[in-house]
Amino acid sequence: MILTSEIIHTDPNDPGPRAYLVRQAGDELRPGIVLIQEWWGIEPHVLDLAQRLASQGYAVMVPDLYHGQIATEPDDARKLVMMTMQNVERVIHEVTLALDHLRADPRVQPKKLALMGFCMGGTVTFKVACRYPHLAAVSPWYGGGIDPEKEPIDGINAPILAIYGEQDQGIPVSRVRALEHALHAAGKDATFHIYPNAGHAFLNDAHGSYHAESAADAWAKLLAFLKTCFH
C-alpha cells in the first residue's frame, strides 16, 4: 500500500485557504473525510491521524486553518486559536471549501463524506455540521464551544459520534450531557462516549493528556462508525 500526499489550494480565487490531501495511490473511488486540526495546528499528530485513516481506504483532507503556523507551547496555541476563532465565519468557510473540494474530486464518492475534528476542530465540526447538508458522518472529539440554543442544530442531517474525556478540565460533563440531550430532543442520531479515565485530547500521544486505553477504544469505535455510515 502506497500513500500519496499533496497540498491543495481549495479556493481558486484566494491562495490562503489550503489543505493537505492524503490517500492511497490509484484512481479507485473512496469515501472522503475532512479532518480538522487541534489548537496546535497541522502538527505531526494530525497528519499521522490522516495517514492512519488513509491507510483504511479513505481520502482525507486536512484544512490548514492557521495558514502554515504551528504551535509547540500551550501559550502559543492559545493565542493562535483565539485569533483564528475570532473570525469563525472564515473558519467555517475554509472547512466548507475543503468539503466541497472533496465532493468534486472524481476519485471521491460524493455521497460518502465525513467531517471530524479534535479540540478546536471538534467545536468547528459541530458548527459546520449544522450548516453543511452533504455529510454522511460527523465525529467531533472533545469539542466544547457550541451552544445548542444558538447554533442551528436542526441543520445536522448525519449521524454523530461524539467523543469526550470525563477528566477534561475545560469541558464539564454537564455541558456535554446538555448538548447530547439537545441533539436527542431535536431528533438527531447522536452517540456520545465519555471516557472516565481520560482528559482533554486523550488521543494525542505527543502531549501529556494521552490515555492509551481510551484512545485505542475510541479509535476502534470511530472506524466502526465510519464503516457503518459509509455502508
Q: Which residues are catalytic?
A: 119, 168, 200
Q: Label each residue of the chain as H, E or C.
A: CCEEEEEEECCCCCCCCEEEEEEECCCCCEEEEEEECCCCECCHHHHHHHHHHHHCCCEEEEECCCCCCECCCHHHHHHHHHHHHCCHHHHHHHHHHHHHHHHHCCCEEEEEEEEEEECHHHHHHHHHHCCCCCCCEEEEECCCCCCCCCCCHHHCCCCEEEEEECCCCCCCHHHHHHHHHHHHHCCCCEEEEEECCCCCCCCCCCCCCCCHHHHHHHHHHHHHHHHHHCC
